[in-house]
Amino acid sequence: MARKAGIIGGGVIGGGWAARFLLNGWDVAVFDPDPEAPRKVGEVIANARRALPALSDGPMPPEGKLSFASTITEAVEGADYIQESVSERLDLKHRVFAQIQQVAPGTPIGSSTSGFKPSELQQNAANPATIFVAHPFNPVYLLPLAEIVPSAKSDPALIDSAKETLREIGMFPLHIRKEIDAHIADRFLEAVWREALWLVKDGIATTEEIDEAIRMGFGLRWGQMGLFETYRIAGGEAGMKHFMAQFGPCLTWPWTKLMDVPEFNDELVDLIAGQSDAQSGHHSIRELERIRDQNLIGFLRVLKERNWGAGKVLLDHDARRRQAMPAPSPDHAQPMEMARMHVLPGWIDYNGHMTESRYLFAASETSDAFLRHIGADIAYVGTGFSYYTAETHIMHLGEAKLGDALSGTVQVIHADEKRLHIFIRILKGDEAVATLEQMLLHVDMKAGKTCAAPPAILDRLLPIAKAHAALPKPEAAGRHVGQKK
């Protein structure tokens, strides 16, 4: 039975939470008094459906059931987890928590607040132990970070359980040990934001120039390494002490105005808004979201390929899913869906079609996912053994274009101690746009020759091969190049 998440507040953040839970198989009930909430949340979820599956190397779980509740009570009844994302007004949050705890006094309640401390949220609550900060970052359905901030009144076991819930939906819960206004990330962002306002106000830079400085330079560094690790490297072989000795004195130099806030008046607002309109006004918000999503997908997949930073979170999440995948039984044998992908801008040729190399890439993603499923993953390769592809035969059966959603399935034709013979289908919906037949050999890399796979792998592989033996052999299997259809 699917678990239920109650989402209170259907704005950008609440909609992102709804999408994150829904696409990870949870039933989701949303409450928001705004009559436009179903449309707004629906648009966010539509963007998430285009984006989130592209981060996974395996099939997404069946999508949960989405409903819109007419009351807070209806939204949280029977919920296993509740996320509050209403406006940043403490009195409003207190009223929401009071209504929630009338019907769900023991259910974890995470607050998306970007500024309030958990002790402030817990004031006068019927059960303060269940209320904590779970502050995400937009888009919630793609970015893994959630700042988890408990207070002295929080239930440690409940906090641990909530963090595990967030890991299960692919997030990275960062446990903040001491509560503080605006937590960690927003305090840092506020300092950068304040300096940026001064740079614009003083005519030193425009909004676009500031954004270019971030996204063309240090923003990319921060995205994969953070602040201190970046500076540690800047110190060279001598490390962080050398960096601090070199650059520490400049902290007293008048470079920034971080402690001096510009007057936040209409003139400053108009200046910032006008420059931002000139910079980005030719795109709608939804277009900007989709551009952002595709850029983040590319960035995150690169990090995933390197098992680094946020990419490691994605790999760990894929590993959880693989462990939960049951092996097919003889009564339910079918090709195993192992990968889902979207045709990205870099995948297409001048005709607007997916290039030949990307069909092979899609097949490689599919076979690699299958190898990870049977235990032949990167850790196994580190032991000196691997499966090598000895032969591949590809047939191009259809066209895939920009934005198309693709899936890859594996059918095991034969497997023994040393050989793995598989048939891969790259599907667009139910239509095969390509099939690939592959022969892989289990290899001792140091000896440079084939060898028997260990029981740990064969125990996962051979039952699949036995189940798939009941399937009809693919018509294309065994074909040679140029053979008549």
Q: In this structure, what CATH number is given to the domain that contains residue 271?
A: 1.10.1040.10
- The residue from 121, 142, 175 where one domain ends is 175
Q: What b-and-e string marks burial along 130-166, b requiring 16 or more CB atoms within 10 Å of the CB?
A: bbbbbbbbebbbbbbbbbbbbbeebbeebbeebbebb
Determine if residue 170 is labeled as part of a ligand binding site. Answer: no
Q: Which of 116, 148, 175 is the last residue of a domain?
A: 175
Q: Are 44 and 324 in contact (CB under 8 A)?
A: no
Q: In 304-340, which positions are buried (b, 16+ CB within 10 angstroms) versus exposed (e)?
A: beeeebbbebbbebbeebbeeeeebeeeebebbbbbb
Q: Name which residue leads in pLDDT, 118 or 308.
A: 118
Establish whether the linkage from the previous residue to 262 is cis, with ω within 30° of 0: no
Are residues 165 and 209 both part of a single domain?
Answer: no
Q: Is the pLDDT of residue 343 over 90?
A: no
Domain membership flag for residue 288 = no
- pTM of the complete model beyond 0.85: no
User: What value does the mean pLDDT take over residues 166-188?
Assistant: 94
> Is residue 162 classed as helix, strand or coil in its secondary structure?
helix
Confidence check: pLDDT of 175 > 60: yes
Q: What is the number of residues in the chain? A: 485
Per-residue DSSP letter, 461: H
Q: How is residue 344 written in tokens?
A: 């990205």
214 plus 148 within the same structural domain: no
pLDDT in tens, 288-318: 888 888 788 878 878 887 888 888 898 889 8
Query: Is 366 found in the same domain as 264?
Result: no
By C-alpha distance, which of 315, 313, 338, 314 is closest to 325?
338
Domain of 411, CATH number, reads: 3.10.129.10
Question: Count of CB atoms within 10 A of residue 435's CB?
Answer: 24
Which domain range does residue 46 map to?
4-175
> Does residue 155 surpass a pLDDT of 60?
yes
11 annotated binding-site participant: yes
Shared domain for 202 and 166, answered yes or no, is no
Torsional sign, CA 72, 129, 139, 78: negative
Same domain, 334 and 431: yes
Cα dihedral across residues 319, 108, 150, 230: positive or negative: positive
| Residues 459, 354 share a domain | yes
| Residue 140 counted as domain residue | yes
Rounded (5°) CA angle 173-113-83 = 65
- Regarding whether 152 and 25 lie in a shared domain, the answer is yes
Determine whether the annotation assigns residue 313 to a binding site. Answer: no
Which whole number is the average pLDDT over 258-280? 83
Co-location of 89 and 143 in the same domain:
yes
From 420, 416, 460, select the one nearest 438 (Cα to Cα): 420
Q: Is 12 annotated as a binding residue?
A: yes
